[in-house]
Structure 1
């Protein structure tokens, strides 16, 4: 039997895809990745009643002892908010719940469309600045808020898995958690770039292919994670200035970054900014590909061409869909 060149499974409510430069360690690397993602789910899920995040949200305004892993995850979200001046905001949990996103998306999408029974929660601009973090194992959610780590959580998990595999096995790795992709490896060894297929939907036939030799790549979109609630079509990407789904000037945004979190931070900010996204990305030299509502494509800051580099061997392609 031929040894597998990559692994695929489900975690965090989405798909995971993992490949390593050394096939001999692939199965062990997969077990390590599963353990890391299980720990992330146990501490950071907004949909598990036993998670540390749910406990902390339930006691907003007070310090709550939690796993240091959650402190790290929230710290990443706060840093994303700081870097984007609040365009990427982890304090949108109450708005998402009001819109009906209070369970795993597959559960939400199966529900009948019912009128909303409560008024929209009041927004607390820049409440993310009030988040308390104790690296030893405690957080304080701002009073009147609920944290949601959807804007950075999967990307951070991808970075976390990649770092764990490199540290344990000393090989190069590519991991995709729900399409949030991270490429990593020992700094003292080289490795041929990996191909990554970018699609707007998981079932799409056509794909844009880019080659990554390090860092992260992420796509955010408004067309896949959708549901109906209160007589309206909703999606998970909210504008923190309104608490409402972003307008849809762009339907998807893909970007590269030093890490997967950096890439995902840029794509989320781009969708929130709409027409102002291109200069924002350009000023930060973020290579990005934006798809407008009419399907037209705009690339920014030297987005790579849609072709394989000459002379590089084919490798298993990882999907990246919104």
Structure 2
């Protein structure tokens, strides 16, 4: 395996292939895709298409069709989750202090956060989309694609790699992972992926992925403080406030990185209801509770000390029993 890492969209990009010769053109391809995504979809660029659309909320604005595609993917995530993964959280994020690039948030740490205005769970349905290149943000709201854009971009890169090179590869964009299939249909071993609750920490478990995507959502990574109040970036659209940190992290799999990230983000918002929701939607996932307890759904591999969601649902108040059950 040959791999490379670089930075884009405020995070890291990891690319790997079992054919070293394709890695340089693959990196150039990924960098070009991410440059286009940043130019059109960034909330922190004054010249982005998304910023222009937010400035003229309530009116149709001519934008790059790439932004329309990104917003359509975000609306699909909202549809699938009943609005829990929501693309119109731009205003409450700004009200809570996330009004600039993450690395610059410390500048206003002494100032109190404002009171967020929730967008309404169904307000995303009012977004206007024209695939030829126009967008209407509902008046009084603002787009933020942070809940879906990284995973969607990882899927774009994987599709571009498959189309341009026909060679299998793995793409990780800040932990949102997409697999580019090998066009030759060669029977290659799955990709080993190390999972940890906190980026940079030793791996807690390793899973094998041979296609589709995997994503992790966390309440512990993008955090900031305003006047001593600690906040995180996964907001509950029903309140406009950070979701209760029932889970430190949720890792989910899916047919794409976007699908996996939709499930993991919805789980953070759902809190204690997440295992049941994941089981009902046939999602294989790993949830790490605030107390360190691990809960799994679907066919997630066995881990020492983990609990299978079905057992938790049968014995919701019996924590001791839940810790003793091994995933099956």
Q: Do both proteins adopt the same fold according to a TM-score greater than 0.5, normalized to the shorter chain?
A: yes
Measured in 1, the distance between the counterparts of 2:46 and 2:147 equals 20
Corresponding residue for 2:12?
A: 15
Q: Kindly state the Cα deviation for residue 224 of structure 1 after the two structures are TM-superposed.
A: 1.2
Measured in 1, the distance between the counterparts of 2:166 and 2:183 equals 10
Q: Which runs of 5+ in 2 are unaligned?
A: 305-328
Q: Which runs of 5+ in 1 are unaligned?
A: 308-322
1:265 maps to 2:259: no
Q: String of CA shifts for 1:48-83, please: whole Å, max 9, x gaps.
A: 111000000110010000000000000000000001
Q: Is the 8 A contact 2:166 2:183 kept in 1?
A: no
Measured in 2, the distance between the counterparts of 1:105 and 1:42 equals 17
Q: String of CA shifts for 1:232-256, please: whole Å, max 9, x gaps.
A: 1100000111000001111110000
Q: Is the 8 A contact 1:287 1:303 kept in 2?
A: yes
Q: Kindly state the Cα deviation for residue 170 of structure 1 after the two structures are TM-superposed.
A: 0.5
The DSSP-based 3-state class of the residue aligned with 2:2 is coil
Corresponding residue for 2:144?
A: 148
Corresponding residue for 2:319?
A: none
Q: String of CA shifts for 1:253-298, please: whole Å, max 9, x gaps.
A: 0000000000000001111111111111001110000000100000
The DSSP-based 3-state class of the residue aligned with 1:101 is coil
Q: Kindly state the Cα deviation for residue 119 of structure 1 after the two structures are TM-superposed.
A: 4.4
Matched ranges for 1:68-83 at <5 A: 68-83=65-80
Residue of structure 2 aligned with 1:208, choices 205, 208, 223? 205
Q: Which runs of 4+ in 1 moved over 3 A?
A: 122-125
Q: TM-score under structure 2 normalisation?
A: 0.89
| Aligned-residue RMSD, C-alpha | 1.5
Residue of structure 2 aligned with 1:218, choices 208, 215, 219? 215
Corresponding residue for 1:302?
A: 299
> Which range moved further: 128-137 or 192-201?
192-201
Q: Is the 8 A contact 1:209 1:306 kept in 2?
A: no
Q: Is the 8 A contact 2:86 2:121 kept in 1?
A: no
Residue of structure 2 aligned with 1:46, choices 6, 25, 43? 43
Change (3 A) 1:67 1:92: same
Residue of structure 1 aligned with 2:29, choices 32, 35, 39? 32
Number of equivalent positions: 303
Q: Kindly state the Cα deviation for residue 122 of structure 1 after the two structures are TM-superposed.
A: 5.2
Q: Is the 8 A contact 1:8 1:18 kept in 2?
A: yes
Corresponding residue for 1:250?
A: 247
The DSSP-based 3-state class of the residue aligned with 2:97 is coil
Change (3 A) 1:159 1:85: same
Corresponding residue for 2:106?
A: 109
Q: Is the 8 A contact 2:120 2:238 kept in 1?
A: no
1:97 maps to 2:94: yes
Q: String of CA shifts for 1:195-214, please: whole Å, max 9, x gaps.
A: 11111222212332111000
Measured in 2, the distance between the counterparts of 1:250 and 1:124 equals 24
Residue of structure 1 aligned with 2:179, choices 177, 183, 188? 183
Residue of structure 2 aligned with 1:167, choices 158, 163, 167? 163
Corresponding residue for 1:312?
A: none
Q: Is the 8 A contact 2:60 2:136 kept in 1?
A: yes
Q: Is the 8 A contact 1:197 1:207 kept in 2?
A: yes
Q: Kindly state the Cα deviation for residue 192 of structure 1 after the two structures are TM-superposed.
A: 1.4
Q: Which has the higher contact order (CA 8 A, sep 6+)?
A: 1
Measured in 2, the distance between the counterparts of 1:191 and 1:75 equals 33
Q: Is the 8 A contact 2:246 2:272 kept in 1?
A: yes
Q: Kindly state the Cα deviation for residue 302 of structure 1 after the two structures are TM-superposed.
A: 1.2
